[in-house]
Structure 1
């Protein structure tokens, strides 16, 4: 893993070195996700799916849901249950 020292501008911005952008195929307008934990910041490229990729993922999820017996009306109960479980872990 290559390490680079970056400087934060007065506007809170950083610039990624050209070689790092080339290596990761990061282009103007691409989006990154920033994760912070303690004194660590991690950047990850965000690749949004195309409409066709999204449709394929949706069909796969619908097929799985049908295979385990879930119906559309079950969705709200599943979400509530998940949120309740998450609150209990916090």
Structure 2
């Protein structure tokens, strides 16, 4: 369906829009007298913004030594050992 003439576009506009929205057609060129005049393409959805620092302040600060001390506890949990 890549290119349609103006008259066909007028009479089948809802079908053309549906084809572009659904992804059946990437784009549709509308021609006047056999020459491309317009392009029908889907509108891109706005990209979701990534929020950084959502958990800032929710947990107590931990230094490197305290973080490393948890290794033995986590290893015991994986191995099913009681501490």
TM-score range, shorter chain: under 0.3
TM-score by length of 1: 0.25
Q: TM-score of the superposition, structure 2-length normalised?
A: 0.26
Which has the larger Rg?
Answer: 2
